[in-house]
Amino acid sequence: MRALASSPTLDRLGARKAAERAIYRASKGGFQAVAGAGRTFAAARKLRSPARQPVAGKRSMFDLTPSAEQEMLVEAIGDFAGSAMRPAAGQADAELRTPPELLAQGVELGLFALAIPEELGGVMEERSAVTAALAYEALGRGDMGIALAILAPAAVATALSLWGDAEQQSRYLEPFAGEQPPAGALALLEDAPLFDPLAPTTRARRQGADWLLDGEKALVPRAAEGELFVVGAQTPSGSPGLFIIEGGSGGLSAQAQPAMGLRAAATARLRLEEVRVPASALLAEGDPAAYRECVQRARIAWCALSVGVAQAVRDYVIPYVKERVAFGEPIANRQAVAFAVADIAVELEGMRLATWRAASRADAGSEFAREAALARALCARHGMRIGAEGVQLLGGHGYVKEHPVERWYRDLRAAGLLEGALLV
């Protein structure tokens, strides 16, 4: 860059100002990348006890009407999804990455701070899975792949808020409430047919005072740039646990793994080859209940995201079938088309209510494993059907990339397949 800046050729061509601007942008971006990759986690202050958001508690009546605060949040996220995410989704899908400016705007929305206690920089007085579900649903209407890229670090922050001890929170949690939160991901899924998240093949074994982890995780969002991971691994006790792993750890590597959908999330394989972490890296002291709760909360999050995408499909096909003319009349006049659109609306409401019910039970401190499983089954089955119907209702237009329904169909397949990556 110094040689280019001192070249007299720039003056002869009248290109010095343009070159200086390009050099400035390149050098600035390079310094930011190095600073991000070289982040070191250190406790800014010591906590005497872990900070936890209070649980909202049980209500006398089952009421899922959003509060004024929730409505404002959904409106702000909806504006961002429609004006910023939707126009960029096609290119992000093709380039297998989310533009950095969109990731920065996602941070500005304050989504990372939803699950962080107020004393550590959070914005919510109470822990609310319903609020997170509403936010994820609104993001899903923009694009599921971009939403996953934005929300992946928030899953790490949520895990630390829920199960981190005082030392883990003081070291890792506060940066997520700042202007430049670390890139991170919750890695549970593995490349295995009929994968059971409660029986991972990734292993953790003790060596002295440390843990050594070996295995491979699949479809980890933004893994190549990750600075902090929460990884699920089988422990010698016979039950899986959650481990905190910093991005620069020896033996940790990532390989691009583009999938059928969620391509904007830059998914990758995360390989662990005798990755050494201290004994303090284990979340919740290896409590199996915390790991099970993590799986259940992740499934609710995937349901919320799929509800948003299914809503986008519905909103797109209704005006299309009213405007598309065949045989001298709009195709919406055909009974088969009208019934198909009605089925989408019915199935969508079932997905939404099942997801909200599971999230509300999590907020109330009640057992919600059954409700999370029901929501997962409903969203996996009907989400895939809604995506397929969206493509079918557009006919040949549904198969080409001029219309977003083919991308939504590919993304909706993920709701019943992926584990981890998101949390409410």
CATH code of the domain in which 358 resides:
1.20.140.10
In a domain, 192, yes or no: yes
Domain ends where: 258, 286, 314? 286
Domain ends where: 286, 316, 344? 286
> Does 412 lie in the same domain as 299?
yes
The CATH number of the domain holding residue 151 is: 1.10.540.10
Q: Are 176 and 157 in contact (CB under 8 A)?
A: yes
In a domain, 39, yes or no: no
Q: Measured between alpha carbons, how far is 158 from 260 in angstroms, rounded to an integer?
A: 27
**Confidence at residue 21, expressed as pLDDT on a 0 to 100 scale:** 54
Going by C-alpha positions, the residue among 215, 57, 201 that lies closest to residue 126 is 57
In a domain, 37, yes or no: no
> Does 259 lie in the same domain as 191?
yes
Q: Measured between alpha carbons, how far is 188 from 219 in angstroms, rounded to an integer?
A: 9
Going by C-alpha positions, the residue among 59, 102, 61, 99 that lies closest to residue 83 is 102
Q: Measured between alpha carbons, how far is 130 from 55 in angstroms, rounded to an integer?
A: 12
214 φ, ψ (degrees, to nearest 5): -135, 135
In a domain, 32, yes or no: no
- Digit-by-digit pLDDT tens for the chain (424 residues) are 444 455 555 566 565 655 555 444 444 443 222 233 557 787 767 777 888 887 766 666 667 788 888 899 999 999 999 999 999 999 999 999 999 999 999 988 888 878 888 888 777 777 889 999 999 999 999 999 999 999 999 999 999 999 999 999 999 998 888 888 899 999 999 998 889 999 999 999 999 999 999 999 999 999 999 999 999 999 999 999 999 999 989 999 999 999 999 999 999 999 999 999 999 999 999 999 999 999 999 999 999 999 999 999 999 999 999 999 998 999 999 999 999 999 999 999 999 999 999 999 999 989 999 999 999 999 999 999 999 999 999 998 999 999 999 999 999 998 889 999 999 9
- Alpha-carbon torsion angle 216, 217, 219, 222, nearest 10: -100
> Does 249 lie in the same domain as 172?
no
Going by C-alpha positions, the residue among 57, 53, 54 that lies closest to residue 361 is 57
> Does 139 lie in the same domain as 122?
yes
Question: What residue has token string 């584990």?
Answer: 419
Helix, strand, coil: what percent of the chain each, to 5? Answer: 55, 15, 30
The CATH number of the domain holding residue 279 is: 2.40.110.10
Interstrand relation of 210-220 and 228-234 (parallel, antiparallel or unpaired): unpaired
Burial 42-69 (b: 16+ CB within 10 A, else e): eeeeebeebbebeebeeeeeeeeeeeee
CA angle (99 as vertex; 95, 103 as ends), nearest 5: 140
Q: Are 123 and 150 in contact (CB under 8 A)?
A: no
Which residue type sits at 25?
R
In a domain, 26, yes or no: no
Domain ends where: 151, 182, 213? 182
Q: Are 404 and 81 in contact (CB under 8 A)?
A: no
Structural domain count of the chain: 3
> Does 325 lie in the same domain as 278?
no
Going by C-alpha positions, the residue among 120, 248, 238, 101 that lies closest to residue 184 is 248
- Its domain, for residue 363, covers 295-416
In a domain, 31, yes or no: no
Q: Measured between alpha carbons, how far is 143 from 28 in angstroms, rounded to an integer?
A: 29
Q: Measured between alpha carbons, how far is 154 from 175 in angstroms, rounded to an integer?
A: 11
Q: Are 380 and 388 in contact (CB under 8 A)?
A: no
> Does 134 lie in the same domain as 91?
yes
Both tokens assigned to 43: 């406790």
> Does 257 lie in the same domain as 329?
no
In a domain, 4, yes or no: no
Both tokens assigned to 100: 């950095």
> Does 209 lie in the same domain as 119?
no
Q: Measured between alpha carbons, how far is 152 from 154 in angstroms, rounded to an integer?
A: 5
Which residue type sits at 419?
E
**Confidence at residue 20, expressed as pLDDT on a 0 to 100 scale:** 56
CA dihedral sign, ordered 86, 92, 98, 101: negative
Q: How many residues are listed for the chain in this entry?
A: 424
Neighbour count for residue 2 (Cβ, 10 Å): 7
**Confidence at residue 119, expressed as pLDDT on a 0 to 100 scale:** 81
> Does 153 lie in the same domain as 121?
yes
> Does 276 lie in the same domain as 375?
no
> Does 159 lie in the same domain as 94?
yes
Going by C-alpha positions, the residue among 148, 62, 15 that lies closest to residue 360 is 62
In a domain, 305, yes or no: yes
> Does 321 lie in the same domain as 218?
no
Q: Measured between alpha carbons, how far is 171 from 160 in angstroms, rounded to an integer?
A: 10
pTM, two decimals, is 0.87
